[in-house]
Amino acid sequence: MRAWLRLVRLPNLATAVADVLAGFLICSAATAPLAWPPAACWLAILASVGFYAAGMILNDVYDLPLDRRERPERPLPSGAIAPRSAAAAGAALLTTGTAAACGAACAAGSPWPALVGAALTAAVWFYDRHASRTPLGPVVMGCCRGLNWLLGMTAAGGPHAFHEWLIPTGMAIYVAGITLYARDEAGRPRAAALGGGTLLMTVGLVVAAGFVWSRTLDGPLAAGCRIGARDWLLLWGILAAAVVFRAVSGIIVPVPARVRQAVGNAIMSIVTLDAVLVLAACGEQWALVVLALLGWFLFGRQLVSPT
């Protein structure tokens, strides 16, 4: 069981759930008091988990020859899980994600969740089968993250305005940066990849902050939010600086252990960043609900590595 949890990157599944939940809350303009999310939200979350887990499994299936040389301790090259079983599980999870996205579309009364789900299916397959070891890899992975946000947003009938589009765009760029940064985490890291990844992460965080910047800098952000836009931007800046600082430390001391630490921190920060975005649109209570997913990540990290 632990080998399977490692194969699907158990801690990272929390970030996929956080994206969809945050996207749904922001586009549905949810505010206090807390209420049980509708079926469209839960089906979108199920779809996201299916897509993410399938992507992780199939990535290891297609990378098996490389992992036998560079990462022989992983579940497939070590023999803990048979490649045929992993491939079947990946296909089943991808099918589950597609079906759940269609279910979200029916529950939401809109075709967009199904269309986003179809795009995610294609993006996951293309990344794992063709793009992961090419220069397109970070771009496609970033698109997967942006589409994951849109899965939650479309389940709520959004995005409704330009400033809402800045979130999936910014987070897509941010994750593209993480992917580029992590490209050589198992070998000798290259300065160009580390520097380019850090730059992309920074740009993505700036673009996502435009969600608030483009709306207003005066007055409260949401009915349940007791801080203003300027204080929110300060909070976002502190979180962004923490991510960039860890990434820069990996550039200064470019050893695999330091790079993996920076990558793990950047991935874990997705949950916190999502919660802060929800804070701006929905207030403190819903932000705490999203932030609670950090417990999932931290618990899962005690069992298996997120990278």
Using only the alpha carbons of the chain, give its radius of gyration.
19
DSSP codes, 36-55: ---HHHHHHHHHHHHHHHHH
86 and 76 Cβ atoms separated by less than 8 Å: yes
CATH code of the domain in which 267 resides:
1.10.357.140
Q: Look at residue 224 and tell me whether its pLDDT is greater than 50.
A: yes
Q: Distance of alpha carbon 199 from its chain centroid, rounded?
A: 18
CA quadruple 187, 267, 15, 153: dihedral positive or negative? negative
Tell me how far apart the alpha carbons of residues 283 and 32 are, in angstroms, rounded to a whole number: 7
Q: Name, of 1-15, 110-124, 179-193, the range with top average pLDDT.
A: 110-124
CB 279 within 8 A of CB 287: yes
Angle at 6 between CA 272 and CA 194, to 5 degrees: 55
Q: Which residues pair with 220 in a beta bridge?
A: 228
Domain of residue 112 covers 2-303
**Taking all residues of the chain, what is their mean pLDDT, rounded to a whole number?**
90
68 or 291, which is more confident? 291
List CB contacts of 251: < 8 A, sequence separation 6 or more: 191, 194, 195, 198
Q: Which of 266, 262, 256, 260 is nearest to 189 (CA)?
A: 256
Map tokens 């809109």 to a residue: 110
pLDDT at 186 over 70: no
User: Beta partners for 105?
Assistant: none
Stated pTM of the model: 0.92
The encoded tokens of residue 291 equal: 């932030």
Q: Are 151 and 44 in contact (CB under 8 A)?
A: yes
Tally of domains within the chain = 1
pLDDT > 80? residue 226: no
pLDDT higher for 211 or 51? 51
Side chain identity, residue 153: M
Q: Does the structure show a pLDDT above 80 at 230?
A: yes
Contacts of 84 (CB under 8 A, 6+ apart): none
Using pLDDT thresholds of 50, 70 and 90, give the confidence band for residue 244. very high
Tokens 């252990």, located at residue: 257
Q: What confidence category does residue 110 fall into, taking pLDDT thresholds of 50, 70 and 90?
A: very high
When pLDDT is averaged across residues 234-255 and rounded to a whole number, the result is 93
Residues recorded for the chain: 307
Average pLDDT rounded to a whole number, residues 35-57: 95
H helix intervals, the chain? 2-7, 10-28, 39-62, 64-70, 75-78, 83-108, 112-126, 137-155, 162-181, 191-213, 229-252, 256-282, 284-291, 293-303
Residue 25 has pLDDT above 80, yes or no: yes
